[in-house]
Structure 1
Amino acid sequence: MTASVTGGRSVRELLREATQRLQVAHAADDIDEARLQAELLYGLATGLDRAQVIAAGNDAAAPAAIEAFEALIERRVQHEPFAYILGKREFFGMTFEVGPGCLVPRPETETLVEAALEAIKAHPEARRLVRVADIGTGSGAIALSVARHAPNTTVYAVDVSTAALQWAGKNMRRFDLQDRVVLLAGDLAEPLTEPIDVLLANLPYVPTDEFEALPAQIREREPRLAVEGGPDGVELIARLAQQLDAHLASVAAAIFEVGAGQISWVEELVTRALTEAGRTGLDVRFHRDLRGIRRVLEVRMGYPKED
């Protein structure tokens, strides 16, 4: 039997008990994160924002609020992803709906979006229409962020998972981007029917043995097909590299998010596939995330030289 948050206490006492439970269950990295989660979950249970929760610290918690809050804390103690419980995740200044069946967007992926927007801006078709594909779209975070911030684009959001595409569809409608985002079900680039100017991919890149060591909230709750990248971590990336030439326009950019330490390996896979297909003048670029890790590989082909 697990410990529970009981009645007859102030909101502050309930939050303190919940913070301790989250720490003991390793549902948070430190006490500050545990406290933040407790405050946000109490807000979810009561309809209050975080500032209101903090201000209500000395108030007695209502029985209905305690019951709802306790249920949410129990879900988190059982390692349900925090974003799933909240039903949303902030990404690139936008709030996305998320839940079982889609990967929770990560902050490091914003580096991929930033690189995509620069590649779109520099593309010769930027004054007209740039065709973008997001391979493995999941919740649609990448595709919709690009569409929202680059109105000169049509974005094809592709995923093999129909469950993930349902979340992408919800978010597409949430941001009213139906006129510029097309959802496609299928394997990697296969559903694409016209040449792509900027192709983006945040595919699974965690090797199988490392996947087994991931925290329970990822390993047991988020979709495995969105996280595990096969024995070496780059199985899907290698397959997509072989499809690039058939789906890219003559002037194009291919941009990949990769795991720490993988970028040179992925660079070799991508540039070799393109070179063998007859592509020349490849311009390879690396982009670091906020932790300084070389997180994103960009390969441009046919772009005009920059001044």
Structure 2
Amino acid sequence: MKIKEALKIKELSRSEKEYILSKLLNEDKIFLHLNPEFEFDEEKFLKIIELRKKEYPLEYIFNEAYFYDEKFYIEEGILVPRDDTEALIDVSIKELGDYVKQEKKLTITEIGVGSGIISITLAKKFPQFRFIATDINPKAIEVSKINAKTYNVNIDFRLSNLLDEVKEKIDIIVSNPPYVEEEWNYEPLKYEPKEALFAKDSGTFLLKEIVKEGIKRKVKLIICEFGYNQKELMIKFFESLNIKNYYFYKDLSSNTRGFVIKF
């Protein structure tokens, strides 16, 4: 098959086909444009096309995902990073920046570390703070350690439900927990770990548990991502606990995507 023929396949976007070809041929996009007649063995390319037609994540195929302009290792069994979560990073950087001059020592804990993208990105930005990250999935801890080593950041990873294995004092909780409603049947999600996606109580169960943990631990700050349609549910929950000092933030598509609570 020639490059120009591969790029004419209709099922995928041009950019995705270019990415696949670049990975398979170990060449950049400029090479693809300058060599349309270049012939290659199409077997692997066509297999990938078939997988993508079934919505199998491209990130699992090449074991890499891009987040906040950096590349992270990923594999099946780990939640695929989403661009929407970059809004969580932006808010976290803003909020943590306020503590840089005020506090010499802070312990920041991420609940549900996944591939490590949040803790690692923040640890690179704030090396003066201590980071602890938990997850119930042993594979998530393993993958996060690989990524942390790549970026040479010091994070204490722990296999734990919420903060069960974190006994020391913590100051800030950051989390992108499972928040998809259990009733939601979205076909592409079938390849990703259900425990990293779905939650009870219209998707808010773990969000509420994290807030209660934060109150119990007397933290200074909680930053969480949630579903675009969960704002009103969380407002009612905050009111039930008499939480008043909070705000919501939006993602890149201007959807309400998370909350920040200050104590």
TM-score by length of 1: 0.80
Q: Which of 11, 22, 37 is residue 16 of structure 2 equivalent to?
A: 37
1:21 paired to 2:14: no
- Quick check: 1:104 aligned with 2:104? no
Contact 1:101 1:223 in 2 (8 A): yes
Indicate the RMSD between aligned Cα atoms, in angstroms: 1.9
Matches within 5 A, 1:1-307: 7=1, 10-17=2-9, 20-22=10-12, 34-59=13-38, 61-63=39-41, 66-123=42-99, 126-177=102-153, 180-210=154-184, 212=185, 214=186, 216-218=187-189, 220-249=190-219, 252-270=220-238, 272-273=240-241, 275=242, 282-301=244-263
Distance 1:271 1:256 in 2: 17
Q: Say which SS state the counterpart of residue 134 (structure 2) adopts.
A: strand
- Bigger Rg, structure 1 or 2: 1
Q: Which secondary structure does the structure 2 equivalent of 1:173 belong to? A: helix
Distance 2:218 2:80 in 1: 28
The residue type equivalent to 1:283 in the other structure is N
Give the partner amino acid of 1:12: K
Distance in 1, Cα, partners of 2:81 & 2:224 = 15
Partner deviation per Cα, 1:74-102 (whole Å, 9 max, x = no partner): 22223210121232111112211112111
Alpha-carbon offset, residue 269 of structure 1: 2.6
CA distance in 1, matches of 2:229, 2:6: 43
Q: Counterparts of 1:96 and 1:268 in 2: how far apart (Å)?
A: 37
Contiguous gaps of at least 5 residues in structure 2 = none
1:258 Cα deviation after fit = 0.9
Instruction: Give the TM-score taking structure 2 as reference length.
Output: 0.92
SS in 2 for 1:239: helix
Q: 1:79 to 1:123 in 2, by over 3 A?
A: same
Report the Cα offset of residue 124 of structure 1.
7.2
C-alpha displacement at 1:126, in angstroms? 4.6
Q: Give yes or no for contact 2:73–2:143 (8 Å, CA) kept in 1.
A: yes
Report the residue type matching 1:247 in the other structure: R
SS of residue paired to 1:286 = strand
The residue that corresponds to 1:305 in the other structure is none
Number of equivalenced pairs: 263
After superposition, the Cα gap between the structure-2 partners of 1:124 and 1:141, relative to the gap in structure 1 and judged at 3 Å, is closer
Structure 1 residues 43 and 113, CA gap change in structure 2 (3 angstroms): same
Partners of 1:298 and 1:172 in 2: CA distance: 26
Q: State whether residues 189 and 247 of structure 1, in contact with CA within 8 Å, keep that contact through their aligned partners in structure 2.
A: no
Q: Distance in 2 between matches of 1:54 and 1:75?
A: 25
